[in-house]
Chain A
Amino acid sequence: MKFVIALLVMGILTQNFTLAKFLGICPFLGVSKKLNTAVGMSLAVIFVMLLATAVTYPLNIFLEAHDLAYLQTIVFILVIAALVQMVEIVLKKYVKSLYNALGIYLPLITTNCAVLGVVILNIDNISAYSAYGFGFGHAMVSSFAAGAGFMLAMVLFAGVRSRLETADVPESLKGLPITLIAAAIVSMSFLGFSGIVEGMGLM
């Protein structure tokens, strides 16, 4: 149980995917302008991360059994892309409202490095956390934590950006430059969480 909490805290705060690992920066800058699009994108990311982990974890066992671990990246990208397309088709048929709400974000996730990152890091975690018996359940938990961390970062940054809209920004920094600076400051603030897992005696 302690390890599960540790995984959650790591995924959301100390090892935050966007702010500490710098994965998924593209949607972080692209769709964080408004709160509702940020939340929509984050929900889609959480969903796809969980789904991708559920499929790639057993797939990895198959790859390792045949000494094909070096094919991880390409096979995972292939599987994730196909998976997202399938989800899109199913959603279009049965949950039209959700399909319309997610809109362009769902296909965008296909090539999102955060999704690929989470499945590959989960595979790495098997050996890294072997002492804690890292298994399929733990992989799912850490995927969810990664997605939730992404959501936290998106929501926080959407707030920052809405304040930036009306701020008096120097001419040369208007637009993307000030956004990147703001992102750097938000990311630095997350450094404050470092050591929290060890400090709480979770690991």
Chain B
Amino acid sequence: MNAIVIAVATVAGIGILAGLLLAILSKVMAVPVDEKAQAIEEILPGANCGSCGFSGCSGYAAALSSGKTTETGLCNPGGSEVSAKIAEIMGLAAGEVVPMTAVVLCNGTTDAAERKMIYEGVESCKMAAQLFGGEKSCIYGCLGLGDCVQRCPYDAIKICGGVAVVDYELCRACGMCVATCPKKLIELIPKNKVSAAVLCKNHDKGVMTMKECKVGCIGCMKCVKACESAAVTVTGNVAHVAPALCTACGKCAEGCPKHVIEMLGFGLTAEPVASRQP
């Protein structure tokens, strides 16, 4: 009987002692928490993508609450909604966030693009790119090994026919894939308007491009001439559309002999215009 009492008393005593110590310590050593920063962090998406330019969501929240930045619209994945909420907490003017989406600027599927070898190495674009620029004859093209797929925190990228394709519904424009792609093929374009995009980044001369890929931009200037708003330019043998100037008339896409220009974006409907959905 006595033994039980002593045992219980010992364990209970140590427990109470430890509990008391912890309670006192947590009061004495209390660190003041920044309530605004915590509230902002709860609103932010929490993907820690770093597209705001700070080290993760907590970094952005801390910068906002400490006044290091007054811009509430830096969070691309959060969009205008998050921006408005942050502005409410901080008492700042809400910054407008243009909804963006990533686009893979290569259409060279395994059917369309020629191969110079058969690559059987590590399943990684970064690795493959180091071996003679990858499997495809075109050294600018998508390798389709999915480095961007692995990087995407929103599961918005898939490989279709050997080329990465972004699901515009799911893309939150965090820009992680843009930084990951070893061929620098991914760009962010506005999601709220329809705009043309040249799905090729081949800088070789037209003759070379034609040998390498059935859907490569040969820099023939037809789209530049067709464009009414001077949105299309050809530099380094490849056309490029400035989304801000594009009026989505579609004339460049009609005139393209290689069919590398497609109309992309959401526009006024919820459905993307182009058929490039995975």
Q: Report which A residues bind B (CB closer than 8 A).
A: 63, 66-68, 71, 74-75, 78-79, 81-82, 85-86, 89-90, 92-93, 166, 168
Contacts and interface: CB of A to CB of B under 8 A. Distances in A.
A82 B7 CA distance: 19
Interface of B: 3, 6-7, 10-11, 14-15, 18-19, 21-22, 25-26, 29, 31, 122, 124, 127
A82 B16 CA distance: 11
Contacts of A63: 10
A85 B24 CA distance: 12
A89 B127 CA distance: 44
B6 A68 contact: yes
B3 A82 contact: no
A78 B10 contact: no
11 contacts: A71-B10, A74-B11, A75-B10, A75-B11, A78-B14, A81-B18, A82-B19, A86-B22, A86-B25, A93-B29, A166-B124
A98 B14 CA distance: 29
- Cβ-closest 6 pairs across A and B: A82-B18, A93-B29, A166-B122, A89-B29, A89-B25, A92-B31
A71 B7 contact: yes
A126 to B, nearest CB: 20
Given A71-B10, A75-B14, A82 B21 contact: yes
Contacts of B29: 89-90, 92-93
Contacts of A66: 6, 10
A1 to B, nearest CB: 36
Given A79-B14, A168-B122, 4 more contacts: A68-B7, A71-B10, A86-B21, A86-B25
A144 B33 CA distance: 35
A85 B22 contact: yes
Contacts of B14: 75, 78-79
Contacts of A166: 122, 124, 127
A67 B124 contact: no
A155 B124 CA distance: 25
A164 to B, nearest CB: 12
Contacts of A90: 25, 29
Contacts of A82: 18-19, 21-22
A71 B31 CA distance: 36
Nearest to A63: B10
Contact of B26 (A68, A75, A78, A89): A89
A36 to B, nearest CB: 15
A84 B195 CA distance: 57
A81 B25 CA distance: 15
A92 B29 CA distance: 8
B15 A78 contact: yes
Contacts of A78: 11, 14-15, 18
Contacts of B21: 82, 86
A71 to B, nearest CB: 6
A75 B7 CA distance: 10
A66 B14 CA distance: 14
B57 to A, nearest CB: 15
B96 to A, nearest CB: 33
Contacts of A68: 6-7, 10
A106 to B, nearest CB: 14
A72 B114 CA distance: 71
A89 B31 CA distance: 9
Contacts of A79: 14, 18
Nearest to B127: A166
B250 to A, nearest CB: 44
B123 to A, nearest CB: 8
Contact of A71 (B11, B18, B25, B122): B11
B22 A67 contact: no
Contacts of B127: 166
A63 B7 CA distance: 9
Contacts of A81: 18
Contacts of B31: 92-93
